[in-house]
Amino acid sequence: MSLFDYTLKELQDKLHNKEITVSDLVAESYSRINAVDDQVKAFLTLDEEKAKAQAKQLDQQSREHTSLLYGLPIGIKDNIVTKGLRTTCASQFLDNLTDPLYDATVMEKLQKENTVTIGKLNMDEFAMGSSNENSSYFATRNPWNTDYVPGGSSGGSAAAVAAKEVFFSLGSDTGGSIRQPAAFCGVVGSKPTYGLVSRFGLVAFASSLDQIGPITRTVEDNAHLLQAIVGHDPMDATSVDIDIPNYSETLDQGVKGLKIAVPSEYLAEGVSPEVKEAVLNGLKVYEDLGATWEEVSLPHSRYAVAAYYLLSSSEASANLARFDGVRYGVRSAQAGSMLDMFKRSRSEGFGDEVKRRIMLGTFALSSGYYDAYYKKAQKVRTLIKNDFEKVFEDYDVIIGPTTPTPAFKVGEIIDDPLTMYANDILTIPVNLAGVPGMSLPCGFSSDGLPIGLQIISKHFDESTMLRTAYAFEQATDHHKKQPELGGANK
């Protein structure tokens, strides 16, 4: 039995009783990476020497009153800044950022919990993508079947957890970039309420939408990792100062009497029959557990994709203006003048998808088009937020599929941006409204690929979201099925 098959509590008991060491955990993580990452390709950078030195140091410390995360290997998405550890955002523009000078706030929090950073995980360049094929280095593969994508942009983060290379990971979610890959890879991923987790040290894509969140194998693990990274941060002006509950204390309270809303738009045309069936079966599980559900409408969700790509691209255009070859990043060696240097550095440093979104955002913000596009998209965003708030007046949670289909094949739609964008149609509204959402496994396709169930709750009500997810997980065994690398499970 692999150490990765134990729960956090079981591992901490083994550490406390000296049945295993932190060094054993770290060694097993790197052993697994050496065995399977040539197929999965989840990691961009490994930090083996430093990780093993930290493990040895932790083994010498007292384990009294330590957290459940103590000594556990974690992977970090490569757009989260790590002091002294290469951070590239999977872009050639930051290929030479080998020694960042500071840690993101979430990294400081994890250090207090004594987790061990194994390395940095692959992603779509600057978090722009839904398949991980936009990485400027290589595409990550889905551990359930390496012919398929793991989702994006946190594809490396989800794939590494599904492949048992790390116990858990951090990703970032701008329009579904934690939940969508979690669904594709059969793991648990959550996007917290906007402002609950500090964005300081997260390389910005769209500042009003980005959120860091945990990817784990179980809901309980997700609650523990989320607990470690939440909280107010004076370094982030959008960080909210509120009382944080203990998420794990309420996990087992059940869902009897819970009122579930199921948006008709989330099960409409475009959602595959297999996904719809899995979600409806999931709702039957909730009925058996004492919850009730009713169909509702989120009428403005049909405009979410258009509004999101206008707003996120506009913010990306502004945020990525800092990458000019002057202050940091790779500078073109072919430039003959200052303006030529700007143009060549950006042309050579950015990939096609990043360029596409910068151009769209710059157009939407330009004189004569601002009111027609950007301002109108902001108004639509408000309408989407109001839709959620109206539903939450009468219901505790919203449930539906995470994605319209299971994972698609590598190369299948990479040349069709509009189809790729539509893949996030069920996750984008959550980011526009700023509410929390998570994905957990609820079944498998006929090809053996995971299907994700999405649970959405009110602002800052992560406790209800996690409790709802935990009840489902305990009543089913979808999360217990493991991928066999190199072929689909049937």
Domain boundaries, the chain: 3-265+279-297+386-480
Q: Degrees (nearest 5) of the Cα angle 116, 213, 178?
A: 110
What is the Cα 28 distance to its own chain's centre?
24
Residue 424 in this model has a pLDDT that exceeds 70:
yes
Kindly report the average pLDDT of the chain as a whole number.
95
Residue 188 in this model has a pLDDT that exceeds 80:
yes
- Would you tell me how many other CB atoms lie within 10 Å of the CB of residue 15? 21
Residue 486 in this model has a pLDDT that exceeds 60:
no
3-state helix, strand, coil in the chain (%, to 5): 45, 15, 40
Q: Degrees (nearest 5) of the Cα angle 430, 174, 249?
A: 60
- 77 included as an active-site residue: yes
d(Cα 337, Cα 297) in Å, to the nearest integer?
Answer: 56
Q: Residue range 383-409: average pLDDT? A: 98
Residue 179 in this model has a pLDDT that exceeds 90:
yes
Catalytic-role residue among 177, 190, 248, 445: 177
Nearest to 142 by CA among 221, 36, 213, 217: 36
Residues 71-110 have pLDDT tens digits of: 999 999 999 999 999 999 999 999 999 999 999 999 999 9
DSSP 412-463: SSTT-HHHHHHTTTTTHHHHHHT--EEEEEEEE-TTS-EEEEEEEESTT-HH
User: What sign has the CA pseudo-torsion 384, 432, 236, 181?
Assistant: positive
- 62 included as an active-site residue: no
What is the Cα 110 distance to its own chain's centre?
17
Residues 438-453 have pLDDT tens digits of: 999 999 999 999 999 9
- 153 included as an active-site residue: yes
**Proportion of the chain above pLDDT 70, given as a percent:** 98
- Would you tell me how many other CB atoms lie within 10 Å of the CB of residue 362? 16
Q: Are 41 and 141 in contact (CB under 8 A)?
A: yes
Q: Which of 116-125, 267-276, 372-381, 420-429 has the lowest mean pLDDT?
A: 420-429
Give pLDDT, residue 62.
75
Which contacts of 45-49 are long-range, i.e. CB under 8 A and separated by 24 or more positions?
45/78, 45/85, 45/86, 45/88, 45/119, 45/120, 46/118, 46/119, 47/85, 47/117, 47/118, 47/119, 47/120, 48/118, 48/119
Residue 363 in this model has a pLDDT that exceeds 70:
yes
Give pLDDT, residue 181.
98
Catalytic-role residue among 23, 136, 153, 169: 153
The number of residues making up the chain comes to 490
- Specify the higher pLDDT residue, 62 or 165: 165
Give pLDDT, residue 418.
75
Q: Would you call 481 helix, strand, or coil by DSSP?
A: coil
Give pLDDT, residue 420.
81
Burial class for 74, CB neighbours closer than 10 Å (0-12, 13-18, 19+)? buried
Say what angle helices 219-229 and 105-112 make with each other, to 10 degrees: 110
**Proportion of the chain above pLDDT 90, given as a percent:** 89
Kindly compute the dihedral angle of the four CA atoms of residues 17, 23, 29, 33, in this order, to the nearest 10 degrees. Answer: -160
Q: Regarding the domain delimited by 3-265+279-297+386-480, which CATH topology (the fold level of the hierarchy) does it fall under? A: Amidase signature (AS) enzymes (3.90.1300)
Q: Are 86 and 92 in contact (CB under 8 A)?
A: no
Quick one: tokens of 419? 């189809």
Per-residue CA distances from 440 to 32, 36, 46, 169 (Å):
24, 24, 28, 15
Backbone torsion region of residue 125, taken as left when φ is above 0, otherwise alpha when ψ lies between -120 and 50, otherwise beta: beta
Q: Would you call 401 helix, strand, or coil by DSSP?
A: strand
- Specify the higher pLDDT residue, 165 or 417: 165
Residues 299-338 have pLDDT tens digits of: 999 999 999 999 999 999 999 999 998 888 899 988 889 8
Give pLDDT, residue 489.
47
Residue 488 in this model has a pLDDT that exceeds 50:
no
Kindly compute the dihedral angle of the four CA atoms of residues 22, 52, 107, 172, in this order, to the nearest 10 degrees. Answer: -90
Residue 65 in this model has a pLDDT that exceeds 90:
no
Give pLDDT, residue 413.
86
Catalytic-role residue among 41, 77, 109, 120: 77
DSSP 21-81: -HHHHHHHHHHHHHHHHHHH--EEEE-HHHHHHHHHHHHTS--TT--TTTT-EEEEETTB-
Give pLDDT, residue 7.
86
Tell me phi and psi for residue 376, to 5 degrees. -65, -40
**Beta partners for 148?**
409
Residues 156-168 have pLDDT tens digits of: 999 999 999 999 9
Give pLDDT, residue 490.
41
